[in-house]
A and B are shown apart, each in its own frame.
Chain A
């Protein structure tokens, strides 16, 4: 499974994702500069966290015009796996590869903390290794993670099984207090309708090693890697 990790100016989770893929999962991995236009040599493309172009405008709004995003679009259309984490999720929404938008956290502050998320759809290449309702303990680190889409779109996402994760309590209850940013219906991550593009606000690359606090993020990388062994989607 060959990973390509996209680097925009202002990206900072690139090295964290690289470390996990390389050192924890021992998979081939390369950085992809944002001016690249060909992603055909990769099996999975990661859009990592950070503040692409400073995100002084709405997060991800500039990065979507980067040359590499055209290639990401083509790559996804061809069935390649794309995972956008944090800023990557924001960029995917801005680029129209995922519906909705990430707005400012409802309390208007940045939040870096551990949260719990519940796997809503334990299938497909990103969560196939888990079980429905399984709770993952995982860090968030963002100021604009408040997922918004209109009601019709949200209903569509639910109906299509595209809600990948919801913020919840440690016991798996989806409550208001477990929602760290005001996201609609506690949504922490969604996929596209085809299931090969995932966007999520929490950082799975920050919880793949015991030493730094937890290993629940492994499930997502393990699912991606094992999906290569089974027929696509």
Chain B
């Protein structure tokens, strides 16, 4: 049956890909078969444009138990017979179309990836990007996405402990919603997403299958789209209660020796779950769609196979043991139905009431074509890199006014309005919740803790994707190191535009190289991830935005430190520099340049060797009990970092910066590899010693105390003013619309 143009369009398959299917199958596929290929060969499932690049990530660390791509999520050993499972995933396009359900089901999907492996989900983080809040449509998206994450996450009892939110024109109409889930796995209880061997039964558990989400993977996530309303039915609807029950039931089932494998139904639903499990097990599969419980009448096999109805799991059980496993799900009032079995001929066969409707080799279905299109840097960006930042005029408004504007910038201002809507304490492990550099969770039954952070700077990646990729890794790891934790693993979500455009593919390629390089330098392997392409609206690609999730390990969780100045009279020291950088080049891609001068230009830079030494020194300083607080100096530069420390600890600051350079560069430049720490004055010699041993320069900034933030000759502001600018800006912007 020759496929029509419309059928190929619906599946986002090219004519060339269709020809490849015909040739390799040896015949024209029928409609259902074409649907299977379209889903599995979609960008979302098949990683057509990214797979060759992702091979650059090395997972060579003795801690890595499961490397990227092997299972639903990566796994690292943390000792004490425990391992951490983690992954970050995007739900950008669904959230653009229907923010509440798009975000909610994004959370649901990533949580299923974690418990499918037998791990208990213990934390969620979210990395979000929106257009400016001056536009009501962006406020609508922000409120919807936050409500969706809140509504779903709170109901399932997994704490939402951190993440970040950035606003930029670049994301208007195409928000980024990246959800990360972290799970705790006990040794020996890991479950694989496999059919195991021929004869095993496929059991479908959870929600009934409906017509929702058909073509989600292919149509929605794998191309650009113009008329979003038309695509609204491709967004699924979540049921967090069912998810919570599924978590408990699946974790119980995972402990049963007769459960061979577990796979969640995500993008491309039953099709990808069954075919990928078969591929992993080296078997074929046959299943009968008439056995699949439906929530809608008259569904065709095509619809059943491509439905993306949420809260469904495929559980592979040994033949003859299905009743025993079914009893576990019955206890939780969950439907479980045997819909097929693994076979020994390597074919995927789809029946309806015993009549064969589709047949194709599993190996062919999962062998999506791979592309490495040409990569060319945009001339426009090359020119921006050369921009003479010394020519930027000093703002007339003066340092204090600029600081207050930066603190009230939505990228820097408190995100309390967002995270107070998330339960960040359930499971009672949260030692540091949202709002700091990284979240810290204790691991019950051990003295250990883990630190978690996400980071990604689209502006920097736009200016230089290679360096931006390195900085994303460096910052995520630095955030974790600021608590005293050693970064041990990463997960990444690559949010880019249309890879068929040479300038976008260049960004993707360079960013991946940068991430791979930094990951190797920090010995923090990328253990899992996700790629979201075709993020663009009205023909413009978003800023290239790789988001990095970092996992750090604390041997003694009691030792961690936070960002706030804790005590008056402490010394404030900047680690990473022996004097405050006054080179205008450090303004490259800064928040200051964007906010005050409406300029995104320059070329960011990072010294990975210095960064590694800095992080090692910070971890040692925490471990040796030398410092009482540590805060990453990033968006907004040094002045903003100091202000944030003051606010977090409700303690003022007085100091001096010896410089003859431009005050805006000194205060708001964003040189990398800097951390603001505090310590009791009598521990200074200990600090010197550790910094010397690690080869890390440092400089004294001043002392904590009082109720003002004073930088001699530059800034003298009462704490209330600073606090008000920072604390209330976001809420005012969101609620302005209702006034």
Binding site for B on A (CB under 8 A): 9-10, 12-13, 15-16, 19-20, 23, 49-51, 53-56, 109-113, 139, 141, 143, 203, 205-206, 209, 211-213
Q: How far is the CB of B542 from chain A (nearest CB, A)?
A: 29
On whether A10 and B155 interact (CB within 8 A), knowing A110-B421, A112-B423, the answer reads: yes
Docked complex Cα distance between A23 and B446 (Å): 13
Q: Which residues of B contact A19 (CB under 8 A)?
A: 428, 444
Stretch at the interface among B239-247, B529-537, B565-573: B239-247
Closest residue of chain B to A9 (Cβ to Cβ) is B245
Instruction: Taking A15-B427, A49-B426, A205-B428 as given, write out 6 further A-B residue pairs in contact, using a Cβ cutoff of 8 Å, ordered by the A residue number.
Output: A9-B245, A111-B421, A112-B154, A206-B428, A212-B428, A213-B431
The residue that A110 contacts in the complex, of B154, B332, B428, B444, with Cβ under 8 A, is B154
Interface residue B333 (Cβ < 8 Å from any Cβ of A): yes
Interface residue B157 (Cβ < 8 Å from any Cβ of A): yes
Taking CB atoms and an 8 Å cut-off, the chain B residues in 227-286 that contact chain A are 239-242, 244-245
Report yes or no: B442 in contact with A212, Cβ–Cβ below 8 A. Answer: yes
Give 26 pairs: A residue, B residue, CB < 8 Å, sorted on A: A9-B333, A12-B156, A12-B427, A13-B157, A19-B428, A49-B426, A54-B155, A54-B241, A54-B242, A56-B241, A110-B150, A110-B151, A112-B421, A112-B423, A141-B423, A141-B425, A141-B426, A143-B154, A203-B425, A206-B425, A211-B431, A211-B442, A212-B429, A213-B425, A213-B430, A213-B431
Question: Which of A10, A13, A113 is the most central at the interface, judged by chain B CB atoms within 10 Å of its CB?
Answer: A10
Report yes or no: A51 in contact with B423, Cβ–Cβ below 8 A. Answer: no
Report yes or no: B427 in contact with A16, Cβ–Cβ below 8 A. Answer: yes
Docked complex Cα distance between A218 and B431 (Å): 18
The residue that B426 contacts in the complex, of A13, A111, A209, with Cβ under 8 A, is A13
Docked complex Cα distance between A206 and B431 (Å): 11
Residue count of chain B within 8 Å CB distance of chain A: 31
Contact digits for B130-152, partner A, Cβ 8 Å, 1 yes 0 no = 00000000000000000000110
Q: How far is the CB of B485 from chain A (nearest CB, A)?
A: 15
Q: Which residues of A contact B425 (CB under 8 A)?
A: 112, 139, 141, 203, 206, 212-213
Q: How far is the CB of A15 from chain B (nearest CB, A)?
A: 7
Q: Which residues of B contact A206 (CB under 8 A)?
A: 425, 428
Q: Is the interface of A mostly helix, strand, loop or mixed?
A: mixed
Interface residue B91 (Cβ < 8 Å from any Cβ of A): no
Docked complex Cα distance between A143 and B152 (Å): 12
On whether A51 and B155 interact (CB within 8 A), knowing A10-B244, A12-B244, A212-B428, the answer reads: yes
Contact digits for B390-432, partner A, Cβ 8 Å, 1 yes 0 no = 0000000000000000000000000000011111111111110
Docked complex Cα distance between A20 and B429 (Å): 12
Docked complex Cα distance between A13 and B419 (Å): 20
Q: Which residues of B contact A110 (CB under 8 A)?
A: 150-151, 154, 421-423
Docked complex Cα distance between A210 and B693 (Å): 34
Q: Which residues of B contact A56 (CB under 8 A)?
A: 241
Docked complex Cα distance between A128 and B226 (Å): 64
Closest residue of chain A to B239 (Cβ to Cβ) is A54
Report yes or no: A113 in contact with B428, Cβ–Cβ below 8 A. Answer: no
Docked complex Cα distance between A49 and B156 (Å): 11
Report yes or no: A16 in contact with B426, Cβ–Cβ below 8 A. Answer: yes
Interface residue B558 (Cβ < 8 Å from any Cβ of A): yes
Closest residue of chain B to A208 (Cβ to Cβ) is B428
Report yes or no: A12 in contact with B421, Cβ–Cβ below 8 A. Answer: no
Report yes or no: A54 in contact with B156, Cβ–Cβ below 8 A. Answer: no
Interface residue B358 (Cβ < 8 Å from any Cβ of A): no
Taking CB atoms and an 8 Å cut-off, the chain B residues in 378-396 that contact chain A are none
Report yes or no: A113 in contact with B244, Cβ–Cβ below 8 A. Answer: no
Q: How far is the CB of A184 from chain B (nearest CB, A)?
A: 22
Interface residue B557 (Cβ < 8 Å from any Cβ of A): yes
Question: Which of B157, B428, B444, B557 is the most central at the interface, judged by chain A CB atoms within 10 Å of its CB?
Answer: B428
Q: Which residues of A contact B332 (CB under 8 A)?
A: 9
Report yes or no: A212 in contact with B421, Cβ–Cβ below 8 A. Answer: no
Report yes or no: B241 in contact with A51, Cβ–Cβ below 8 A. Answer: yes
Closest residue of chain B to A12 (Cβ to Cβ) is B157
Report yes or no: A16 in contact with B428, Cβ–Cβ below 8 A. Answer: yes
Q: Which residues of B contact A141 (CB under 8 A)?
A: 154, 423, 425-426
Q: Which residues of A contact B444 (CB under 8 A)?
A: 19, 23
Report yes or no: B442 in contact with A112, Cβ–Cβ below 8 A. Answer: no
Q: How far is the CB of B556 from chain A (nearest CB, A)?
A: 11
Report yes or no: B154 in contact with A10, Cβ–Cβ below 8 A. Answer: no
Report yes or no: A212 in contact with B422, Cβ–Cβ below 8 A. Answer: no
Q: Which residues of B contact A111 (CB under 8 A)?
A: 420-421
Contact digits for B150-191, partner A, Cβ 8 Å, 1 yes 0 no = 110011110000000000000000000000000000000000
Q: Which residues of A contact B430 (CB under 8 A)?
A: 212-213
Q: How far is the CB of A105 from chain B (nearest CB, A)?
A: 10
Docked complex Cα distance between A101 and B442 (Å): 36
Q: How far is the CB of B406 from chain A (nearest CB, A)?
A: 26
Q: Which residues of B contact A205 (CB under 8 A)?
A: 428
Report yes or no: A212 in contact with B245, Cβ–Cβ below 8 A. Answer: no
Q: Which residues of B contact A20 (CB under 8 A)?
A: 428
Closest residue of chain B to A53 (Cβ to Cβ) is B241
Report yes or no: B426 in contact with A212, Cβ–Cβ below 8 A. Answer: no
Docked complex Cα distance between A203 and B557 (Å): 23
Docked complex Cα distance between A139 and B431 (Å): 13
Docked complex Cα distance between A10 and B420 (Å): 21
Report yes or no: A113 in contact with B420, Cβ–Cβ below 8 A. Answer: yes
Docked complex Cα distance between A139 and B430 (Å): 12
Docked complex Cα distance between A20 and B424 (Å): 18
Q: Which residues of A contact B333 (CB under 8 A)?
A: 9
